[in-house]
Amino acid sequence: MKWEEVELADIAHVVTKGTTPTTMGRQFTDSGVNYIKAEALNGDFSLESQSFSFIDDETHNLLKRSILQEEDILVTIAGAQVGKCGYVRGEHLPANTNQAVGIVRVNKQKADSRFIYYYFKQPSTFSLCQTLGAAQAAQPNVNLTVLKGFKIPLPSRTEQARIAETLSAYDDLMENNSRRMALLEESARLLYREWFVRLRFPSYEHARITNGIPEGWNRKTLGDICTDLRETVSPDALEPDTPYIGLEHLPRRSISLTEWGTAEAVTSTKLRYKTGDILFGKIRPYFHKVGIAFTDGVASSDAIVIRANTDELQSLVLMVVSSDEFVAEASQTMREGSKMPRADWKHMIKYPVVFPPQGLLADFTETVTAITDQLRNLCFQNQKLRAARDLLLPKLMSGELAV
């Protein structure tokens, strides 16, 4: 049966875009109300909360047009990632978004908001947005009037719900895995902070402190326990399916590098990395883009590839360079580049590290390695779930497959 086609404007109460605080003389804050930019729209049912910015309550209330509601669909309408989409859940609220993001608020009497989200999630819709955006003279942009006119094949409400439930089952599993990963990362951060910052390691009560460190511990620098790798590789030397991690793939405040592209699109010299190496985004280091690689591959030359001097030091190096204290130090000592500031490895290697006795180091390494192994397994589980969902998506949304 051929589904009826409707225009988006016929089934949505609101098709508008967000507002940027600076247009009203307001500033971003370190915490407060979530402010969701295009980089948080990861193409999955969830939003990347690590990429959220924040505004205060007063600014939130002033930006009336951009105040989000549960089940809003967010679509990137300006910039290089035109067409990327996301779905707002209650846990994200209160929240606002900016002018690069379109807000689609579905009339629930006429359509299932999850079904409409999956319409935007389809590769064909993404490609349409990219094509429309590329037609603009300046930066890619999809006009709201054009967005409202998108033709959407719409089955019955019952069919919409069944299709949405089938697809969201995959997304729910991925979301659960992502939550587990966040908890695992937090446990690693807390362990590092307790042992190496607060110096509350096992039996610390009995340790004698000498010159500010426990007896048996040493003072080292980051340069004593790791090195930066600069093995360059040209595009023509790479297999097309080689994993490629650019700065856009590095999440903020997460040690799990779960996303990557392929070398097929690489056109310039890159840096080679191995599984277990640590990538540090050196452009604007205060963005806190630091994580451990779960594959062999190549990285942007705007990342620093860091490798521990021994396997036993890997966990310590990872937790040091991903710590708030280290990122703050790298941000304070960054070099001013021609266009944007960059972290300076010559300064980074001077960062002080308190070094524990062998037994404590082994215990710490064992615990954190178990965590990173779990993170890697969950990452690959999500990749398989995503691949299965993406295989089903166009077939269900076109009616080729029935549920």
Sequence-separated (6 or more) residues with CB below 8 Å from residue 336? none
Which pair of tokens denotes residue 267? 């056109």
Task: Look at residue 130 in the predicted model and tell me its pLDDT.
Answer: 86
Q: In what order do the strands lie in the sheet with 12-17?
A: 12-17, 101-106, 73-76, 85-87
Same domain, yes or no: 103 and 235: no
Q: Which stretches of 239-357 are DSSP H helices? A: 314-321, 324-332, 345-348
Which residues, at least 6 apart from 265, have a Cβ–Cβ distance to it below 8 Å? 244
**pLDDT at residue 45 tops 80:** no
Domain boundary pick from 139, 154, 169 = 154
User: Is residue 140 a contact partner of residue 189, using CB atoms and an 8 Å limit?
Assistant: no
Residues 117, 123, 128: CA angle, nearest 5 degrees: 90
Residues 199, 325, single domain; the answer is: yes
The pLDDT value given to residue 40: 84
Length of the chain: 403
Q: Does the structure show a pLDDT above 60 at 248?
A: yes
Residue 194: give its domain's CATH number. Answer: 3.90.220.20
If you average pLDDT over every residue of the chain, what do you get? 92
At 167, the pLDDT band (50, 70, 90 cuts) reads: very high
pLDDT at 2 (0 to 100): 78
My answer on whether 191 and 331 are in the same domain is: yes
* Residue 368 confidence (pLDDT): 98
Q: Can you give the pLDDT at residue 142?
A: 87
Dihedral sign of CA atoms 21, 22, 25, 26 in order: positive
For residue 148, pLDDT beyond 80: yes
Tell me: pLDDT of 294 over 60: yes
Is residue 176 domain-resident?
Answer: no
Beta bridge partners of 229: 305
Percent of all residues in the chain with a pLDDT value above 90, rounded to a whole number: 70
Does position 267 have pLDDT exceeding 70, yes or no?
A: yes
Strand-pair partners of 293:
257
Q: What's the whole-number mean pLDDT along residues 256-267? A: 91
143-147 long-range CB contacts below 8 Å, 24 or more apart? 144/15, 144/16, 144/17, 144/77, 144/102, 147/8, 147/15, 147/75, 147/77, 147/102, 147/104
User: Do 93 and 142 fall into the same domain?
Assistant: yes
169 lies in some domain:
no
Q: Are residues 149 and 200 in the same domain?
A: no
For residues 224 and 79, state if they share a domain.
no
pLDDT band at 41 (very low <50, low <70, confident <90, very high): confident
What is each CA distance from 335 to 12, 206, 257, 282, in whole angstroms?
48, 43, 25, 10
Number of structural domains (the chain) is: 2
Q: How many C-beta atoms surround the C-beta of residue 227 within 10 A?
A: 15
What single-letter amino acid sits at 122? Q
Residues 48 and 103 in one domain: yes
pTM score: 0.88
Q: What is the pLDDT of residues 340-387, one digit of tens each?
A: 789 999 999 999 999 999 999 999 999 999 999 999 999 999 999 999
Full residue range of the structural domain in which residue 70 is found: 4-154
Let me know if residue 399 belongs to a domain.
no
**Residue 228 covered by a domain:** yes
Closest CA relative to residue 113, chosen from 250, 13, 254, 208: 13
* Rounded Cα distance, 288 and 108, in Å: 39
Within 10 A of 93 (CB to CB), how many other CB atoms are there?
Answer: 14
Residue 84 shares a structural domain with residue 190: no
Span 96-141, pLDDT tens digits: 999 999 999 999 999 999 999 999 999 888 888 888 877 765 678 8
Are 193 and 290 part of one and the same domain? yes
121 in a structural domain: yes
Q: β-strand 303-308 against 226-229: which pairing, if any?
A: antiparallel
